[in-house]
Chains A and B, each alone.
Chain A
Amino acid sequence: DTAVSQTPKYLVTQMGNDKSIKCEQNLGHDTMYWYKQDSKKFLKIMFSYNNKELIINETVPNRFSPKSPDKAHLNLHINSLELGDSAVYFCASSLKRDRPEAFFGQGTRLTVV
């Protein structure tokens, strides 16, 4: 049973489209995250939710909107996709917001053409 699962694993789309990435964790964790890994493999946090409440919102364009319907799910919706959005997006979860040991999903490779 996969602890943190993301879908889709690969996503190829044209500029200007809107797309979503879904994430689910079955660990019973309170806190979930989205991280972005760029072409140089650098990882940076985008968002964090704790029990469905947004607690971290880094300097991310408004075109990115996370949604957490319940504490086991954290989806990422991206409007008006741009070439620069091409990256690998990782979902992660941790037990609580003050227990930062995170478990990561397998990643979604987004390619904007």
Chain B
Amino acid sequence: AQSVTQLDSHVSVSEGTPVLLRCNYSSSYSPSLFWYVQHPNKGLQLLLKYTSAATLVKGINGFEAEFKKSETSFHLTKPSAHMSDAAEYFCVVSTNNQGGKLIFGQGTELSVKP
């Protein structure tokens, strides 16, 4: 069985400071891992993905995530937050034998203070 746990329901940072959104996963098979972002009243946009290639994954808008198998983690980071980063972020796991089914974490709301 697969699952995803996002360790913080809400993270607040000041503009220009680093962002860390934490995610742990559980999977019986080699997982694919994703981070999606949802701005208010918008759809979901793919930020980045890990699919068994490089463990450090770069995404859009300066975001990165590192796959750590020993820690079963896939934390999302950004060196310097921007006001436009304020949104809901979802960590997502899937495996190739699940027909494309995505398992979502509970979401982390990121607030960015001026």
* A42 pairs with B106, CB closer than 8 A: yes
Contacting residues, chain A, for B95 (C-beta < 8 A) = 100
Size of the B side of the interface (Cβ < 8 Å), in residues, is 25
* B43 pairs with A90, CB closer than 8 A: yes
Q: Does B44 lie at the interface of the complex (its beta carbon under 8 Å from any beta carbon of A)?
A: yes
Interface of A is mostly: strand
* B101 pairs with A45, CB closer than 8 A: yes
* A31 pairs with B100, CB closer than 8 A: yes
Known: A90-B43, A105-B43, A106-B42. A48 touches B107 (CB 8 A): no
* B44 pairs with A100, CB closer than 8 A: no
Q: Which of B51, B100, B102, B107 has the most CB of A within 10 A?
A: B100
Closest-by-CB residue of B relative to A99 is B100
B7 vs chain A, min Cβ distance (A): 16
**A-facing mask of B14-58, CB < 8 A → 1, else 0?**
000000000000000000101010100011111001010000000
Q: How large is the interface on A (under 10, 10 to 19, 20 to 34, 35 or more residues)?
A: 20 to 34
* B100 pairs with A48, CB closer than 8 A: yes
**B-facing mask of A39-59, CB < 8 A → 1, else 0?**
011111100101000011000
Q: Does B90 lie at the interface of the complex (its beta carbon under 8 Å from any beta carbon of A)?
A: yes
- Pick the residue among A4, A50, A101 that contacts B34 (CB under 8 A): A101
* A106 pairs with B43, CB closer than 8 A: yes
CA distance A14 to B43 in the complex (A): 25
Contacting residues, chain A, for B101 (C-beta < 8 A) = 45, 48, 56, 100
**Which A residues from 93 to 112 make CB contacts under 8 A with B?**
94, 96-107
CA distance A104 to B106 in the complex (A): 18
Cβ contacts A to B, 30 pairs, < 8 Å? A31-B100, A40-B106, A41-B38, A41-B106, A42-B106, A43-B44, A43-B90, A43-B104, A45-B101, A48-B101, A50-B99, A55-B99, A56-B101, A90-B44, A92-B44, A96-B100, A98-B96, A98-B99, A98-B100, A99-B100, A100-B32, A100-B94, A100-B98, A100-B100, A100-B102, A101-B46, A101-B51, A102-B46, A104-B44, A105-B43
* Interface set of A (CB-CB < 8 Å, partner B): 4, 31, 33, 35, 40-45, 48, 50, 55-56, 90, 92, 94, 96-107
